[in-house]
Amino acid sequence: MLFNEVAQYYQKLEEVSSRLSMIDILSEMFSKTSKEEIKALIYLTQGALSPPFEGKEIGMAEKLVISSLAISTGAEQKTIEKLFSTTGDLGQTGEKLVITSKLKSFNSKKLTVLDLFESLTKISNTSGVGSKDIKIRLFAGLISNSSPIETRYIIRFSLGTLRLGLGDATILEALSKSITGNRDSKELLENGYNICGDLGKVAYILFDKGIKGIENMEVELFNPIRPELAERAKSFEEIIERMGVACSVEGKYDGLRAQLHMDKKKNKIEIFSRNLERMTLMFPDILKNAFSEINAESIIVEGEAIAYNENTEEFRPFQETIQRKRKHEVEEKSAEVPLHLFLFDIMYLNGKQLMSLPYEERRSKLEAVLVKRKMILPSAKIIAKTSKEIELFFNKEITEGLEGVVAKDLNSKYVAGARKFSWIKMKRSYRSELSDTVDLVIIGYFSGKGSRTEFGLGGLLAAVYNDKKDLFESITKIGTGFTEKQMLSLSELLGKIKTKKKPARVESTVEPDFWVDPKYVVEVRADEITRSPMHMCGKETYSQDEIGYALRFPRIVSDGVRDKKAEDATTTKEILEMFLLQKKKPLSD
C-alpha cells in the first residue's frame, strides 16, 4: 500500500467529528492493507514504531527536522523557522515547503508503508557519535522522496504530534469491521489484545489466521498482559455479600505495580508497569534476586514493588518508592532503600498459561515457587469468612503502613484488562464523602483571567472514560488545587495539544476556551459526586434533558500529570458505582 493513500485517510480522520466515522475510515484503510503491511500500519497509525512496551522512539527534535527540511527543499533555515512560527505546525510547514520546492527528487519510486516504516526504524536505530547528522541526512532523504501530504504526516509522526485521536478500542473495532464486515468481533480482539498488549500483533494474527487465530491466542513470555483491576466496596459486609461464603483478603501495598517475566534458560528478565511499559532498569534490586528467589524455569508473575525498610519492618510511603523514576537515582536509591516485590498473582509457569485456573490454585502455585522470601515475597493474606475477620485484617494492615486490603474471589480466573468484582479494594481513605480520588482526562482548558492571566491557564475541563462507548464524557471543571508551577507546566503541555475543534471522541456541552486531545490524566479529589444536567458523564444519549453526573468542589491533587493513558482514567461505570457507595453507611473509624 502506498503511504500517499494512507496519508489521505489520515487527513479524513482529522476532519470527522464522530467516532463511528473514524471506524469506517480506518476499516476501509485496513481492508486495503496486506498481511505483510498491517503490523507496520497499525504502529504508524498509533504514532509509534513498536508496541508501547518496546518503547522504540524516532528521536527527531524540531531542530533536526528543520535542518532536514532545509536540505530536502533548499529553503533557508530562517525561512523555515519563520513559516513554522506562523503555522505552529512543522508538519504543515514541511508540506508547504515541499509544494514550492525547486529541488526535485531523482528517486521516482513511490513510498510504500513498508518503505516508510523501514526508513523511520533506521532513523530510530541510529545512535552514538555523529548520529544527529546521520538522522538529519536520512530524514532529508525521506522527505525529498515524499509528496506534500506525506511530508505533513511523516513530520508529525517524527515529532510525536501525529495525534489522530484514535483509542485502542477504535482501532480494534475497525479491524473487526475490515475483516468480518461488522464490529461484532471487537470483544474477541480485545481479549487477544489483553493478553499481549500489542495491537500490531493482534492485527497480524487476524490478517494471517482470521478470527480462529485470535481465539487460539496464548499468553507469551515478554508480551505484557493487561492487568486485572479492582472494584470498590463501601463496607466489609458488602465484600462478604459479594464474595460468598469465604474470600481471600490481601494487603494492598501502595507501591508500583510490576509484572515480572522471567526465562531462566535465556537468562532474561523484564518488568512491565501497569501501563505495560518496560521498566526493568528501574529495579536492579529485584533483578539481582529474581533468579535465586523464584524457583521456576519460566514465569509471569505480578505484584507490587515497594520501598521497605527491613530494619524497622516499615513500609515506606509511595513517594519514596517512585523516587527512582529518574534514571540517576536508581542505583543510589536501590542501595539505600531496596524495593521488595510483594507478589499477588501468577499467570504463567514453565510453559503453561495459568490465567484460567481459580485464584486458590494460582495462589498455591505462586507460594510454591517463592522459595526464599527475602526480597520477593507473597503478599500478606488471610482467608476470611466474616466481615469482622476482614475488618481485623484491614486494621492490622493499615497499622503496618499499607493502604488497605484487596479481597479476592477464591474461584475467579485472572481476567486481563478488566475491572471486576472478583477483586474488591478497600482503602483507608474511603469515607462517606468522596475521599477516594479519581483520575480524570483533561479535554480542554480555560485561559487565565485576573491573577491567572500570566499563567495562560485559569482552569481545566475534565472527563471520565466511558469504556463501553470508547468516549470521553465531561464531568467537571477544575479551578483549584494548582500550584503556580503546575499552572505554568500544564499550560505549556496543553498548549502543544490544542485542537481547532472538539475532538471526535469527546462528549461535552461545556465549551472550554481551548479543546485539547484527550491525552493527559490528573488526579482529582472532590467532596461529592452529584447529579447534574451540565456534564455528560453517565448520560445515555447525551441529550439536554438527561441528567448526568458531576463533581462537587473538585481540586487537583496530583503533582503533575499522572503516568496513565487517557483510557486508563476513571470510567463512567466507576463514577456511577462511587455515586451509589456515597449513599451507603460509612465505614466506622
Catalytic residues: 252
CB 252 to ligand ATP: min, Å: 4
CB closer to ligand ATP, 23 vs 230: 230
CB closer to ligand ATP, 75 vs 249: 249
The C-alpha cell at 397 is: 494492615
CB closer to ligand ATP, 419 vs 539: 419
CB closer to ligand ATP, 145 vs 570: 570
CB closer to ligand ATP, 298 vs 379: 379
The residues that touch ligand ATP, with contacts defined as CB under 6 A, are 229-230, 250-253, 257, 274, 304, 344, 379, 406, 425
CB closer to ligand ATP, 344 vs 514: 344
- State how beta strands 229-232 and 419-427 pair: parallel
CA–CA distance, 215 with 212 (Å, rounded to integer): 5
CB atoms closer than 10 angstroms to residue 9:
19
Q: For the CA atoms of the chain, what is the radius of gyration?
A: 25
Q: How far is CA 354 from CA 254, 347, 349, 361, 412, in A?
A: 26, 5, 7, 9, 12
CB 299 to ligand ATP: min, Å: 18
Alpha helices in 160-258 (DSSP H): 168-180, 186-196, 199-215, 236-243
**DSSP bridge pairs for 304:** 257, 342
CA–CA distance, 231 with 546 (Å, rounded to integer): 27
CB 433 to ligand ATP: min, Å: 17
CB 437 to ligand ATP: min, Å: 7
CB closer to ligand ATP, 173 vs 320: 320
CB 438 to ligand ATP: min, Å: 10
* Residue among 447, 450, 441, 534 at smallest CA distance from 491: 447
Residue 376 φ then ψ, to 5°? -120, 115
Three-state SS annotation for 44-74? HHCCCCCCCCCCCCCCCCHHHHHHHHHHHHC
Distance of CA 562 to the CA centre of its chain: 10
CB 262 to ligand ATP: min, Å: 19
CB closer to ligand ATP, 334 vs 379: 379
CB 66 to ligand ATP: min, Å: 40
CB 11 to ligand ATP: min, Å: 36
45 contacts 166 by C-beta, under 8 angstroms: yes
CB closer to ligand ATP, 217 vs 415: 415
> Crossing angle of helices 168-180/199-215, nearest 10°?
50
CB 439 to ligand ATP: min, Å: 7
510 contacts 477 by C-beta, under 8 angstroms: yes
- Residues contacting residue 167 through CB under 8 Å, at least 6 positions apart: 470, 505, 566, 567
Residues 421-448: b if buried by 16+ CB within 10 A, e if exposed: bbbbbbbbebeeebebbbbbbbbbbbeb
Residues 79-101: b if buried by 16+ CB within 10 A, e if exposed: ebeebbeeeeebbbbbbbbbeeb
What is the rounded (10 degree) CA torsion for 50, 55, 57, 62?
Answer: 130
CB closer to ligand ATP, 19 vs 363: 363
CA–CA distance, 589 with 581 (Å, rounded to integer): 17
Query: What distance, in Å, lies between the first and last C-alpha atoms of the chain?
Result: 64
What is the rounded (10 degree) CA torsion for 22, 25, 31, 33?
Answer: -90
CB 445 to ligand ATP: min, Å: 24
Residue 191 φ then ψ, to 5°? -60, -40
